[in-house]
Amino acid sequence: MKSYGTIRIHLDELIRERGISKNKFSQWAELQRTQLNNYCNNEVARMDLDVLARMCTVLECEIGDLLEFIPPDKAE
């Protein structure tokens, strides 16, 4: 099967860098804690654009700060 690379989510790192607790972040971004953990652990199969917009708003970041494309030759 052909590999197309992967998307890495840097949410956990950004939350830590901003000094925000996961509980506060989940409240501010209106996320359930399990949903937040899935994004933090890169265990999301389909991303919701509204959720990504809320994350960027709360973190005051760009989408490129949150998501990274890993090409197939560099994917684990």
Which two structure tokens, joined as six digits, stand for 49?
């654009």
Q: What is the number of structural domains in the chain?
A: 1
pLDDT tens digits along 27-72: 999 999 999 999 999 999 899 999 999 999 999 999 999 999 999 8
Q: Specify if 55 maps to a domain.
A: yes
Domain region containing 34: 6-67
Helix (H) or strand (E) holding 41: none
Q: What is the residue type of 16? A: R
CA–CA gap between residue 56 and residue 46 (Å, rounded): 17
Which two structure tokens, joined as six digits, stand for 1?
């099967």
pLDDT tens digits along 10-30: 999 999 999 999 999 999 999
Q: Specify if 76 maps to a domain.
A: no
CATH number of the CATH domain containing 18: 1.10.260.40
Q: Specify if 29 maps to a domain.
A: yes
18 three-class SS:
helix
Quickly state the pLDDT bin for 3 (edges 50, 70, 90): confident
